[in-house]
Every structure is written in C-alpha cells, then in structure tokens.
Amino acid sequence: MPEKNAKGKKKKQNAIARWWRETIGEIRKIAWPTPKETLQMTKVVLVVLLLMSLILGVLDNVFTKLIAFILS
C-alpha cells in the first residue's frame, strides 16, 4: 500500500524493502517441525537412503555379472 508524503502525493515504496517485508511475512507462516519431528524425519531419510543404496548395489552387481556372462 503506497504511503503519502508531506505534500499528499503517493510515495513509491522501495522494492527491496517491500521484498524483505513480504519474505519475512511468508517465513512467519511456515509450520516449523519440532526437534522430535526433525529427528524422526532424519531417521526415516537415513533408513531409506541405506535401503536404496543396498538395493542399487545388489542390482549393479547382478547386472554386471549378467553382462559379463553374456559377453564371455
């Protein structure tokens, strides 16, 4: 909303100041997780990471041996 200066004319708002104010307003709307929720989500990510690494490693090994068998 434009402010008015002493002469009654509309004052143009500084774009950087407006951006900063809007950004802070949006950050305040965020529902930040609790430390307990953060720890739980971190554990889930690590478990999924380990499982996917294991699955991809096994698949890589199987396909490497399959291709070596086919080519030899």
Per residue in 9-42, pLDDT (tens digit) is 666 678 888 999 999 999 999 999 999 999 999 9
CB 27 within 8 A of CB 37: no
Give the bridge partners for 10, in sequence order: 4
Average pLDDT, the chain: 89
CB 2 within 8 A of CB 12: yes
Instruction: Determine the average pLDDT of the residues in 42-60.
Output: 98
| Model pLDDT, residue 72 | 87
